[in-house]
Amino acid sequence: PEPKYLGREDVRNCSTSPERLPVTAVNTTMRLAALRQQMETWNLSAYIIPDTDAHMSEYIGKPDKRREWISGFTGSAGTAVVTMGKAAVWTDSRYWTQAERQMDCNWELHKEVSISSIVAWILAEVPDGQNVGFDPFLFSVDSWKNYDQGFQDSSRHLLSVTTNLVDVAWGSERPPVPSQPIYALPKEFTGSTWQEKVSAVRSYMEHHAKTPTGVLLSALDETAWLFNLRSSDIPYNPFFYSYALLTNSSIRLFVNKSRFSLETLQYLNTNCTLPMCVQLEDYSQVRDSVKAYASGDVKILIGVSYTTYGVYEVIPKEKLVTDTYSPVMLIKAVKNSKEQALLKSSHVRDAVAVIQYLVWLEKNVPKGTVDEFSGAEYIDELRRNENFSSGPSFETISASGLNAALAHYSPTKELHRKLSSDEMYLVDSGGQYWDGTTDITRTVHWGTPTAFQKEAYTRVLMGNIDLSRLVFPAATSGRVIEAFARRALWEVGLNYGHGTGHGIGNFLCVHEWPVGFQYNNIAMAKGMFTSIEPGYYHDGEFGIRLEDVALVVEAKTKYPGDYLTFELVSFVPYDRNLIDVRLLSPEQLQYLNRYYQTIRENVGPELQRRQLLEEFAWLEQHTEPLSA
């Protein structure tokens, strides 16, 4: 089937004269002029603006949205480069249409994301001998190495400039850095105490082949997890800006001290300097403090994926021990039995909210009273009513018809589409609860789907089932098994342009690295949680995604061996109206019916306990066993 012609009035057209810009485009002319003025002052011919913050966060706070401010493009992934005459953004397929809607004609859009393509463009635009500037606190060691390698054989100089030039151009309009209180999670919501976690990391360091004396933690989920602390510096992520330097004899936490209550200071043992006392230092001191520590007889372990070049460059190379991920990332990836139980229980409550929403939609969409935005607001409200809720885990993706073809479309109060029984609707949403983070996607159709829509949906479901029921050897990397989620789509020439899953955990970020199915994810191990989320997007018509969270568990095999499989902990049935059972194999059908039985067992009693009888009846009906 050919993609439908969109009319494209919603996107910019820079080839006409005058250029045609949609209302959603941002005028960046003055912003670019202010940045170029700074570039001139610093003698830079190009300036690279990545999409992250000083902690390599995927979601960033308002003061860190530099790429968004300079380009107008609000997608969560994408790098901008500004030269004296040109400006360009590189982003992946999830955001191409969004970028065309939001950027004005000052900007080129490059539909790729590799650093090599960015470097190639800079080499073509910047003359020999000129400087290319970057903020070292916005580049991981890994990405700096890739850029550096790209420029090595050229005569352009990659220059680390610790003053952020976008911030200077942004000036007083730049939002302030957050200062909300940082609080300790009640112990019933944590898998271990912070002292136990510190001991585990120290033990890891002792057993490390290069015996580091200290580990520097830069990612925000590392400090939040290690100390069982949370705050709200970043939307949807309960984090606080911080670093930690954990050594064999001391613990230093770099954070604004005024954000702690007296009780939390006591919880952290901040009034001593013993090995189990947390010494607080100001956030801005991290570079100097690491430099001072590195002057001793020490070896500092860093995970290069999350440590920025800004901190890395002050550690002498002979005192560095580098791994891809810090020990905290690796230990955190495997949830202990208490953490698993907490996460599962948050998913039961979350399923209640999603089921309530689906029942509500079924009743109200035919009346024509629901739109994408009011729907998103309602499901967020349902989650907020759940115990231990701390709001959504990301901006709800509520997309009807052609809007669902944009994998990360979110409606606004001003711009949204009415839900209708005549088209498909995709809702991808999640909650932050004190016991767990959730993330689930369901796609539904309340009318008569086309044969192609049913086939595409069923094949996405087959991909989800094939990966979910897979039995594989322990310590297999996710990338090795990822194709199982795509096979049913591939065999008829369909595919999707995003990853197949991501780690998720206990009240941290919704995409909890390093678990997942990509080349830089760590090998699968018992106790990890990952999402499984194949999809299919038909530009201009509809989008499908079926996402569940799964726990990695031991598999029972006919012959003895160390094998793993997945156990779904998302408990919401798929849309029967869109499943073509004729396409399912007997094994897939059997798996699906067994999953539906699990949903009944886990969520049914909770619905009854709350007297949600309409929802209970709906669940019974939608989890009736399917037959070929």
Residues lying near other proteins in the complex (CB under 8 A) are found at 77, 92, 94, 113-116, 142-143, 145-146, 149, 394, 397, 407-408, 428, 430, 439, 497-499, 501-502, 510-511, 516, 518-520, 533, 535, 545, 547
Cα first-last separation, the chain: 27
Contact 407, 394 (CB under 8 A): no
Nearer to other proteins, 438 or 623 (CB): 438
Smallest distance from other proteins to CB 517, Å: 9
Smallest distance from other proteins to CB 112, Å: 9
Smallest distance from other proteins to CB 533, Å: 6
Q: CA-to-CA distance for 391 and 182, rounded, in angstroms?
A: 17
Dihedral (CA of 21, 26, 30, 33) sign: negative
Nearer to other proteins, 304 or 584 (CB): 304
Nearer to other proteins, 70 or 546 (CB): 546
Smallest distance from other proteins to CB 68, Å: 16
Three-state DSSP state, 110: strand
Q: CA-to-CA distance for 100 and 73, rounded, in angstroms?
A: 9
Contacts 24+ apart (CB under 8 A), 623-627: 623/573, 623/596, 623/597, 623/599, 624/596, 625/593, 625/596, 626/576, 626/579, 626/581, 626/584, 626/589, 626/592, 626/593, 626/596, 627/581, 627/589
Strands (E), 67-152: 79-83, 87-90, 107-110, 131-134
Nearer to other proteins, 511 or 600 (CB): 511
Nearer to other proteins, 117 or 131 (CB): 117
Contact 572, 483 (CB under 8 A): no
Contact 458, 7 (CB under 8 A): no
Q: CA-to-CA distance for 308 and 135, rounded, in angstroms?
A: 10
Smallest distance from other proteins to CB 165, Å: 25
353 class by beta-carbon count within 10 Å (0-12 exposed, 13-18 middle, 19+ buried): buried
For residues 362-372, one letter each, b for 16 or more C-beta atoms within 10 angstroms of the residue's C-beta and e for the rest, the string is eeebeeeebbb
Q: CA-to-CA distance for 418 and 373, rounded, in angstroms?
A: 9
Alpha helices (H) in 106-187, listed in sequence order: 115-125, 141-152, 165-170
Nearer to other proteins, 119 or 365 (CB): 119
Nearer to other proteins, 465 or 504 (CB): 504
Nearer to other proteins, 246 or 544 (CB): 544
Smallest distance from other proteins to CB 332, Å: 18
Smallest distance from other proteins to CB 59, Å: 10
Nearer to other proteins, 510 or 552 (CB): 510
User: Which tokens sit at 500?
Assistant: 């197949």
Contact 278, 268 (CB under 8 A): yes
Nearer to other proteins, 77 or 161 (CB): 77
Number of Cβ within a 10 Å radius of residue 107: 26
146 class by beta-carbon count within 10 Å (0-12 exposed, 13-18 middle, 19+ buried): middle
Type of residue at 72: G
Contacts 24+ apart (CB under 8 A), 490-493: 492/455, 492/459
Smallest distance from other proteins to CB 518, Å: 5
Smallest distance from other proteins to CB 339, Å: 21
Nearer to other proteins, 116 or 597 (CB): 116
Nearer to other proteins, 280 or 427 (CB): 427
User: Which tokens sit at 196?
Assistant: 């136990």
Q: Do you find a cis peptide bond into 136, omega within 30 degrees of 0?
A: no
Smallest distance from other proteins to CB 436, Å: 16
| Ramachandran angles phi, psi of 442, nearest 5° | -130, 145
Smallest distance from other proteins to CB 346, Å: 17
Smallest distance from other proteins to CB 497, Å: 7
For residues 378-392, one letter each, b for 16 or more C-beta atoms within 10 angstroms of the residue's C-beta and e for the rest, the string is bbbebbeebebbbeb
Nearer to other proteins, 476 or 518 (CB): 518
Smallest distance from other proteins to CB 336, Å: 25
Smallest distance from other proteins to CB 96, Å: 12
Nearer to other proteins, 38 or 400 (CB): 400
Nearer to other proteins, 94 or 101 (CB): 94
Alpha helices (H) in 275-336, listed in sequence order: 286-294, 309-312, 327-333
CA distances from 220 to 213, 274, 343, 511 (A): 22, 24, 20, 13
Q: How many Cα atoms within 13 Å fall on the side-chain side of residue 42?
A: 28
For residues 58-72, one letter each, b for 16 or more C-beta atoms within 10 angstroms of the residue's C-beta and e for the rest, the string is bbbbebbbbbbbbbb
Smallest distance from other proteins to CB 58, Å: 9
Residue 153 pairs in a beta bridge with none
Nearer to other proteins, 254 or 574 (CB): 574
